[in-house]
Amino acid sequence: MSRRLDRNALTGLPPGVIGPAYTPADHGAGIVHIGVGAFHRAHQAVYTDAALASEGGDWRIDGISLRSTAIADALNPQDGLFTVIERGGDGDLARVIGSIRHVVAASQDIGAALALLAAPRTRIVSITVTEKAYGIDRAQAQVEPGHPAIANDLASPLKPTGVIGMIVEGLRQRRERGIAPFSVLCCDNLPENGGLVRAGVLDFARRVDASLAEWIGEKVAFPSTMVDRITPAPTAETLADTERFIGVVDKAAVETEPFSQWVIEDRFAGGRPAWEAGGAIFVRDVAPYETMKLRMLNGTHSMLAYAGFLSGHRYVREVMRDAALTRLVRRHLGAAAATLEPLAGIDLAEYAEALMNRFSNPAIAHETYQIAMDGTEKLPQRILTPALHALRNGQDIRPFAFTVAAWMRYCIGKADDGTSFSLRDPREDAIHAAVQVQREPSGIVHALSALPGLFPAELAGNEHWNGLVSEILTTMLERNMVAAIAAEAEYL
């Protein structure tokens, strides 16, 4: 059996593999991160590694995984070490990251997870759990009492299972023991993510103990942040390549693109690592950066994921080799950019060009099906809000209507060749119920637009918009997705 990556293996890393430029065990933990998935390992953990190398400090990361035990089982025997393979046009670069100390699987040991959150050394709690895990009703800025984790945690707040419940219980314990609170740093692709999580945490706390909510409102910082790095789900190939690079087995390796960006509001009551050492940018207001990224990168991603997946493209890089689809990618980037306010120091045309290149990266196997997941959680900030903006301002709404039609086509759950696939959306049952009784494209548009809380009323009630979505969906259904893409590219 091959040896496993661990602290002893660091001294024997092959030339060309970059290891931590510090001794991980010399640094204590200061961050608790909830959701130790591939994205966290390829992004925040890398910035923290750079900060530790540059400025030192007790800023290592203790991880909490909410449900799965797999990542704790992979990382703990490796002393928290794992490899990031950066795949660029000019070959791969392997880097072993030392910033994670240990991972607790909350589903196995909630006491240990809460102890991390309550520990005085914990000054920041950062989060990547994907949009759907929060259970926050974004329009009402409060928790969704029907969300499984929220419902469970409101019923037994001392034994939480979800991210909001855990944060509130961690803060409650700190307050009870006279320990200063931590700052909460949401790193998911949500608009004004700090404010959103703050609203969810405050509402949850209010339902448990009003004075706790008041204390949190006064004392806890929730800086917003924009995170960016395209990170496909690791595969067996990721692990096999890693072993070839580093010479030992690494069960927690990730692969990602060379590009990385992190824009953060500098509001950390208990201090923070020198993340600028890894290239992080600190600003007063992240919102315009977040909006730009959500509408341009993520919005275009969603468009190309639905259209690409249904027309037989497994990977984003294949989409970018399809001439008609590439035209639609460019069109979407332009339409999204047109909905944005100018942002000092950023040329949106250059940003769009950089995105075209990143999507085209031939070394990254990013599945369209991965991006297509959780559409109801993603469409509002990526597509529907900019669509409404475009509608109100007399701008081109067609690119957004095309994306919505492609998502609706996807909601039918059958590819053009008749094979079924699972939607992988938290509202999958409601979507099925809405579409299965419909015969006409316009009926599908109407039924899906009426899903509670999804479409802005002004958009769902606009005849021109609905007409356009129905017309495009008709082509997708009566002919097929390939024909609809060709017709659309023709239309340009």
**Residues making contact with ligand CS2 (CB under 6 A):** 189, 228-230, 297-298, 301, 370-371, 378
Strands 29-34 and 183-186: unpaired
Rounded CA gap, 111 and 32, in Å?
14
Are the beta carbons of 139 and 44 closer than 8 angstroms?
Answer: no
How distant is the alpha carbon of residue 330 from its chain centre?
23
Pairing mode, strands 82-88 and 91-97: antiparallel
Smallest separation, CB 188 to ligand CS2 (Å)? 9
Nearest distance in Å: CB 488, ligand CS2: 21
Q: Rank residues 213 and 297 by Cβ distance to ligand CS2 and give the closer one.
A: 297
Q: How far is the CB of 232 from ligand CS2 (least distance, A)?
A: 8
Query: Toward ligand CS2, which CB reaches closer, 224 or 298?
Result: 298
Q: Which is nearer to ligand CS2, 122 or 403 (CB)?
A: 403
Alpha-carbon distance 25 to 265, whole Å?
Answer: 29
Nearer to ligand CS2, 29 or 133 (CB): 133
Q: Which is nearer to ligand CS2, 6 or 318 (CB)?
A: 318
Helix/strand/coil for 85: strand
- Minimum CB separation from ligand CS2 for residue 130, in Å? 9
In the bound complex, what is the minimum distance in angstroms from residue 329's beta carbon to ligand CS2? 13
Cα 371 from Cα 149, distance rounded (Å): 24
Q: How far apart are CA 252 and CA 75, in angstroms?
A: 6
CB of 297 to ligand CS2, least distance (A): 6
Q: Is 357 helix (H, G, I), strand (E, B) or coil?
A: helix
Residue 310 near residue 415, CB atoms below 8 Å: yes
Indicate the residue among 295 and 331 with the shorter CB distance to ligand CS2. Answer: 295
Give 152-200 as a DSSP string. Answer: HHHH-TTS--SHHHHHHHHHHHHHHHTPPPPEEEE-SS-TTHHHHHHHH
Nearer to ligand CS2, 172 or 427 (CB): 427
**Complex with ligand CS2: residue 400 or 465, whichever CB lies closer:** 400
| Least Å from the CB of residue 270 to ligand CS2 | 27
Instruction: Give the nearest distance from C-beta 455 to ligand CS2 in angstroms.
Output: 19
Residue 470: closest CA among 377, 405, 387: 405
Nearest-CB residue to ligand CS2? 301
Burial of 342 from C-beta contacts in 10 A (0-12 / 13-18 / 19+): exposed
